Amino acid sequence: MASLDNTDSQVHQAVQTHYGKVLETSSDLKTTACTAGTKPSPMLCKIIRKIPSAVTSKFYGCGNPIPLGIQGKDILDLGCGSGRDCYIAAALVGPQGSVTGIDMTDEQLQVARDSVGEYAATLGYTPRMHFLSGYIEKLGETGVPAASIDVCISNCVVNLSPDKRAVLSGVYTALRPGGEFCFADMYADNRVSDEARRNPSLINEGLGGALYVEDFEKMACEVGFARPRVLAVAHIDVLDPELARHVEGTRFFSITYRLFKLPQQDADADSGFSAVYDGRVEGEEEEYVLDVDNRFRRGEAVAVDRETLGVVSNGWMQKHFSVVAGAKEGCHGGGATPTLQLLQQALEKKSCTKKC
């Protein structure tokens, strides 16, 4: 198979063909990406079971990047494919919220559109759910206005883009102040070789375009996002021997990141304040997990650094937190565990299928 020179059009065409015409179901993939992510919460599993099988059978995601507590919010899904995550989000935002899915693959979009009526009958209302054809690198051209989105989600798609900085910049522009880009994607523990980055099969499987985690985190900050927060990490096995040979020495992971659009803060400085979670997010009544380092038990004051203070006091979920001066003795939120350390921890965990 001829290599690609990674021009936008060539990569887009290869990905469109692979996901629109070659793959029939997620079992056709040559990695464990679709089973690598953490198991969906009981609440999400309940929703997923109500989604038409035509939609779920063509799901190619590698995580569960849909925050709970988004009732009434405006959601954008990048690379929505057959629409599974849009369908989940539609149930969570309710009739007052909206969900917009964007994808460049017509075959996938048709699947997403065809099942809306069936799903509306299940929900008991017609969701404000729209599916647009377009490129995630060019959100402005798809008709998504600036500062119109509360939460943007994406599931194993950004790695397929030939211009990831453009994707991040477009999302940053589309988000309202306090908005979030919560997305699962494939990453590498070192830089993928130039040969691998040009290999069509590796690109289509998400391996060729996987960024080195530290390069990604630097890029996100350069675009303007606050420090990237890791919500979940899982190791991805490359099942195909030929593909594995091309990426020998590099390990791949599914990582769910949370990126917030906030005023710049000193992430390492103690804020002198604590945050208290009210326990009112359905599905997370007892504890709200912001990231791997910061967990908030209902009604418990947790000391936070300045940047975390900014998230809970200015982010889209601010109504669920109150801020108090000082901190309860011995009760502190975590700092920021280095992502490479989290990858090593993921390697030590037993891999298993993590579907509902």
Q: For residue 352, list its beta bridge partners.
A: none
For 11-25, 222-236, 296-310, 331-345, which range has the lowest pLDDT when averaged over its residues?
A: 11-25
The set of long-range contacts for 43-48, using a CB threshold of 8 Å and a minimum separation of 24, is: 43/68, 43/282, 43/283, 44/88, 44/283, 44/356, 45/356, 47/87, 47/88, 47/91, 47/92, 48/84, 48/88, 48/356
Q: For residue 171, which of 153, 155, 186, 184 has the smallest C-alpha distance?
A: 153
- The alpha carbon of residue 137 and the mean position of all alpha carbons in its chain are separated, in whole angstroms, by 16
Query: Which tens digit of pLDDT belongs to each residue from 135-152?
Result: 999 999 999 999 999 999
- pLDDT band for 20, please (50, 70, 90 cuts): very low
314 CB-contact burial (10 Å; exposed 0-12 / middle 13-18 / buried 19+): middle
**What are phi and psi for residue 230, nearest 5 degrees?**
-90, 125
Round to whole Å and give the CA distance between 347 and 254. 12
Q: Is it the case that residue 329 has pLDDT exceeding 50? A: no
Query: Which tens digit of pLDDT belongs to each residue from 240-286?
Result: 888 889 899 999 999 999 999 998 765 555 668 999 999 999 999 99
The 3-state DSSP class for residue 124 equals: coil
Q: Report pLDDT for 21.
A: 44
Q: Is it the case that residue 153 has pLDDT exceeding 70? A: yes
DSSP run (H or E) holding 288: strand 287-291
Count other C-beta atoms under 10 Å from residue 157's C-beta. 27
